[in-house]
Structure 1
Amino acid sequence: MITVLGIGPGNSYLMLAGTQRYLEDATLVIGSKRQLSLFPQVASKQLLLPKLSVLRELLTTRLDDNVVLLASGDPLLYGIGTWAFHQFGRARVQVVPGISSIQYLFHQTGLSMNECYFTSSHGRVPDFDFLLMHDTIGMVTDDKIGPYEIAQAIVKRHQHRQVIVGEMLSYPEETITTYPAEAVEQRDYQMNVVIITNA
């Protein structure tokens, strides 16, 4: 069985109760370097996350084992849980939810998630004409289409929006900044998600 374990946005105090039980029962724990560093108590059964093609081959040989695949945030909100379901089917995969970084940012800013449209720019080009028809958008970003590129798409369409950028959410270095779209800086943003609202 593959357990895709949501571990929240980063800080251990935001992990859901029961996380430790899944780790203790696992024969193998797979995750990124950052994710694995949160669980030194299971260091002897950790494996650094490989490329997805390699991961698929590995998991195919371990379907009778109790493998935990760590997922930042919530595994089914633009996370690896969807990939696992597609590769192995629901009979061989269980997903344990976690608090997503988008959810966390909404709560930190006191904004309601009602009527929000959730999306991601990770590895793809969003349809900004469609997205910006919505009043509130929560977006997972990547290093190609991040806060600055999103803001430029807003400006290009002559909309007046606020862009809320959450960086390093739940970590000591957490930074949450609200910009008018035209003022978003062109710089590197660390582990960020974005909320777009009406100005």
Structure 2
Amino acid sequence: MISVIGMGPGDERLISVAAQQLIESADILVGWRRLLSQFEHHPAQKYQMGVDIDATLQWLREQNQSLDKHTPNIVVLASGDPMLFGIGKRIAEAFAPEERQIVPGISSVQTLFSAVGIDMNDVYITSSHGKQPNFDFIFLHDKVALVTDKKIGPYQIAQQLIQRGLHRTLIIGENLGYPQQQISVLAPEQVQAEYEMNVVVILNERQ
């Protein structure tokens, strides 16, 4: 069985009890280096994911089809929530329901909305990871959460707003759930060039 578990934001206290129990019983832990580093003393075998997700899926398939009497308990550690721009989607597509289970976690988007006390009703959630966002479509929405990457982040979003002459409020959440968490509420003209790992909320407060 492959269990994909949401590790939530950086605060370990926000990992669900179900996820903690699966980690404790894991024979193999799979994840990015940052997540695996939390379990250096766990007796499970460790498999570090790389940029080639297909290679990881093939390795998981080989482990899950073991001919041994004991099929290992494989736990895939996912940042935030596995099904919100995470590894959960790929594993759900690659394995049958009886071969895998997905345990949700608290996403960085949820963390930011809760921190600033704004509801998530009617929010449009998207991502700039590995793609060029359709900003004209995004800016049609009054409440947007955008999971960013290093190429398209707060500054690039702000510049797109300025070019269109649009008035919006940007809420930038950096390192959400970690001790160095920082939240900034800015007009597009105030957005700086560089921010650490972040999520951006775009609000149209003049609707």
Structure-1-length-normalised TM-score: 0.94
Q: 2:196 aligns with which of 167, 174, 190?
A: 190
Aligned length: 198
User: Following superposition of structure 1 onto structure 2, how do residues 30-49 of structure 1 map, counting pairs within 5 Å?
Assistant: 30-49=30-49
Change (3 A) 1:128 1:43: farther
User: Structure 1 unaligned runs (5+)?
Assistant: none
Question: Which residue number corresponds to residue 75 of structure 1?
Answer: 82
Q: Which of the pair has more CA radius of gyration?
A: 2
Mapped partners of 2:142, 2:97: distance in 1:
34
Task: Provide, for residues 92-147 of structure 1, a one-character-per-residue CA deviation record: whole Å limited to 9, x for no partner.
Answer: 22110000000000000001100100111111111111111110001111001111
Mapped partners of 2:135, 2:181: distance in 1:
27
2:128 touches 2:147 (CA, 8 Å); kept in 1? yes
Aligned letter for 1:17? V
Aligned letter for 1:37? S
Q: In the TM superposition, what is the alpha-carbon distance from 1:90 to its structure 2 partner?
A: 2.8
Q: In the TM superposition, what is the alpha-carbon distance from 1:44 to its structure 2 partner?
A: 4.1
The answer on 1:157 being equivalent to 2:158 is no
Question: Which residue number corresponds to residue 110 of structure 1?
Answer: 117
Question: Which residue number corresponds to residue 21 of structure 2?
Answer: 21
**1:5 alignment partner, SS class:** strand
2:27 touches 2:44 (CA, 8 Å); kept in 1? no
Question: Which residue number corresponds to residue 125 of structure 1?
Answer: 132
User: Structure 2 unaligned runs (5+)?
Assistant: 65-70
1:12 touches 1:38 (CA, 8 Å); kept in 2? no
1:27 touches 1:67 (CA, 8 Å); kept in 2? yes
**1:62 alignment partner, SS class:** helix
Mapped partners of 1:16, 1:100: distance in 2:
12
**1:144 alignment partner, SS class:** coil
The answer on 1:97 being equivalent to 2:98 is no
Q: In the TM superposition, what is the alpha-carbon distance from 1:43 to its structure 2 partner?
A: 4.9
List 4+ stretches of structure 1 deviating above 4 A: none
Mapped partners of 1:124, 1:88: distance in 2:
26
Q: Give me the identity figure in percent.
A: 43
